[in-house]
Copies of this chain bind each other. A is one copy, B any other.
Amino acid sequence: MIKPYLKQAVAVAAVLLALLAPAPAQAQRQATWIWYPGDYEIWLGNQMQNRRTERGTFFPVFWRMDSHYVLIDFHKDFDLAQPEEVELRAEGQYNVKLDGKPLTGAPMRLTVPAGKHRLNIKVYNQATPPTVFVRGKTIASDNSWLVTYEDKEWIDASGKTSDQSGTTWLQAGAWNFDSPEARPAAFKLPTEARRAVRVEPTPTGLVADFGRETFGYIKLYGLRGKGQVAVYFGESKEEALATETCETLEYLAVDQPQPGDRVTSLSKAFRYVNIRPEAGVSLDSVSLLYEYAPVAERGKFRSSDAQLNKIWDVAAYTMHLNTREFFIDGIKRDRWVWSGDAYQSYLMNYYLYFDTPTVNRTQFALRGKDPVTSHINTIMDYSFYWFISVYDAYQYTGDRAQVQQLYPRMQSLMQYVLGRRNPSGLLEGQAGDWVFIDWADGLSKKGEVSFEQLLFCRSLETMALCANLVGDTAGAANYQKLAADLKTKIFATYWSPDKHALVHSQINGQPTDNVTRYANMFSIFFNYFTPSQAQEVKNSVLLNKEVPKITTPYMRFYELEALCAMGEQPYVLKEMKAYWGGMLDLGATSFWEEYDPAKKGAEHYAMYGRPFGKSLCHAWGASPIYLLGKYYLGVQPLTPGYATYEIVPNLGGLQWMEGAVPTPQGDITVAASLKQAQR
């Protein structure tokens, strides 16, 4: 979607597309557990997000948590050459109908006769999503099955079923639960035992150091005695030792006349644990059950700059830790699915794992269900990132089905947004709207903020693209017109020829004098500026030290992207080395929620008014993965699913680089060097 403004001349030594073996076209269908699209995702999101605790106290989200539909009908029509025996499982109470006639009881096997037949399974489950698994020789549950939460099949006094149901059937949702035993509700991320790098005794117990930021359960060995064991977690050693202010902890009640082992109840983020048994309780040792998402790292990057390589490695590790059941914000504190954070993870994912199920799952979990009663995560900007992510995903993956499934929920969310425009047709924060933009001191959220209008405009353009994709031509025309009108209004309102920039906001009908980076940098890679406007903005805003600096990796992502999009790779390389390298110099083993080089020592750990409030492993800290893959290796799709793509390497001052970028058809490997055929 984004074209570089400049293409630096480099010698490209090798461009190699390693094609994966294509899936056999007419193979037997793989049976998999299926559900109503979005329902498993919403339910799993609830499970995961409700694991947040703050010093042992449950800390839930402040927006509406939706739930799965409790009663679902699954069906598919078959035309069988031979009768077929089918095995069947469901999570929930269920019945089975063959050609509309119920079978006795809740069968786990049935025979479907030869010929045309319809198989219906209807499942009720209040606690976990209704799901089914069906497997025969040719019959297999998968996302070609149709599902609904209201079949509307009433029966008249003669026993006849209604034949004009008006039911909306969607394609089933699925993931990778491909055996009858792999029940979706029982899903857990895998764990692996890991030893501490160092264990130090303390006057009250011991402190274990796992060598770098990590995540999982603590296992205590040889516990004996009666009393409590306190486990204090720390992303820093300071935090683990600060028993009164560390962010997370767990108390275990021990009653072990004979020595025994115990595992903490919730997986946690930490590098250090401080174990303090009460008097009368003792233990032998500790280890970690490292919990992780089994995603494969397909993206690669190596260059002539060792620090940059380290940055890429730590970014990839940061990304891996934050890729869990969903793309989450950070592993220590929230562990929630935040749309703005997830948006960046999607983009990084396209250059690291290309794990489309995690993207799809996260999009469903974020959106939840109708009716819309607030912005996603209550944040206005976060609704917009969600819209934009849908077409982005299509551009990278070519997965049109996901757009189709989400489109009705896109429409209703956009309906909500459109209903909140003020009389000028612009958006300003109403009661209940969090205008976030970024964590930045003194950043004004008042009035009509240009950044929000810009994201709104891009979202309308996205709606138009997706409407066309699903065949809603009237919708497409409408959204296109709304977008065009809004873009005109944005430039009429906020563009200041004097300041050579979009100003930050309009208050009481008057544009302010305030220039910030946000709207200006997004307009670059949204291609909203004329070439001359873009050049003006680059100098007057992006490279202007008078404009307030960005201190979060979150917005540095877009700032550096804008500069890359204008061919400033050499400048961005220096910035990356200074900013991410700065964290490494402070001993970071994963990248942070926020980094201000002006701070000292343990000041770096504070945020939200708490000494260890800051997350030291935040997904949005991993953006070098994206920047290096897209703007240095220079790989991106030109048409959906990489049907066509471009490779425009840009060394940006490096002597050489090589790497790989995953695509649906396989990995693109790129090597470039200043010297012809050096490697």
Hey, which chain B residues are within 8 Å of A439, CB to CB? 157
Q: List A residues 42-80 near B (Cβ within 8 Å).
A: 43, 46-47, 50, 54-71
Whether B57 pairs with A150 at a CB distance below 8 angstroms is: no
Which range contains the number of A residues in contact with the other chain? 35 or more
Does A166 interact with chain B (Cβ within 8 Å)? yes
Hey, which chain B residues are within 8 Å of A151, CB to CB? 62
Query: Closest 7 A-B residue pairs measured CB to CB?
Result: A166-B432, A159-B609, A166-B431, A127-B127, A159-B608, A64-B150, A65-B71
Does A646 interact with chain B (Cβ within 8 Å)? no
Whether B59 pairs with A95 at a CB distance below 8 angstroms is: yes
Hey, which chain B residues are within 8 Å of A106, CB to CB? 57-58
Does A5 interact with chain B (Cβ within 8 Å)? no
Does A399 interact with chain B (Cβ within 8 Å)? no
Q: List A residues 127-163 near B (Cβ within 8 Å).
A: 127-128, 149-160, 162
Does A102 interact with chain B (Cβ within 8 Å)? yes
Does A201 interact with chain B (Cβ within 8 Å)? no
Q: 1/0 contact trace for A13-47 toward B, CB 8 Å?
A: 00000000000000000000000000000010011
Question: Which residue of the partner chain B has the closest CB to A128?
Answer: B126
Contacts A153-B62, A434-B162 given: A70-B54 contact, CB under 8 Å?
no
Whether A102 pairs with B371 at a CB distance below 8 angstroms is: no
Hey, which chain B residues are within 8 Å of A433, CB to CB? 166
Minimal beta-carbon separation of A353 from chain B (angstroms): 29
Contacts A71-B61, A159-B609 given: A55-B164 contact, CB under 8 Å?
no
Give A contacts to B, CB under 8 Å.
Answer: 43, 46-47, 50, 54-71, 93-95, 102-106, 122, 124, 126-128, 149-160, 162, 164-168, 370-371, 373-374, 378-379, 430-434, 439, 441, 607-610, 613
Question: What are 21 A-B contacts with C-beta separation under 8 Å?
Answer: A43-B126, A50-B124, A57-B104, A58-B93, A58-B94, A58-B122, A59-B95, A61-B71, A62-B153, A64-B149, A65-B71, A66-B70, A67-B69, A150-B378, A159-B609, A159-B610, A159-B613, A160-B609, A164-B431, A167-B432, A370-B371
Whether B122 pairs with A152 at a CB distance below 8 angstroms is: no
Minimal beta-carbon separation of A565 from chain B (angstroms): 28
Whether B150 pairs with A374 at a CB distance below 8 angstroms is: yes
Q: Report Cα–Cα, A50/B373, bound state, in Å.
A: 30
Whether B56 pairs with A152 at a CB distance below 8 angstroms is: no
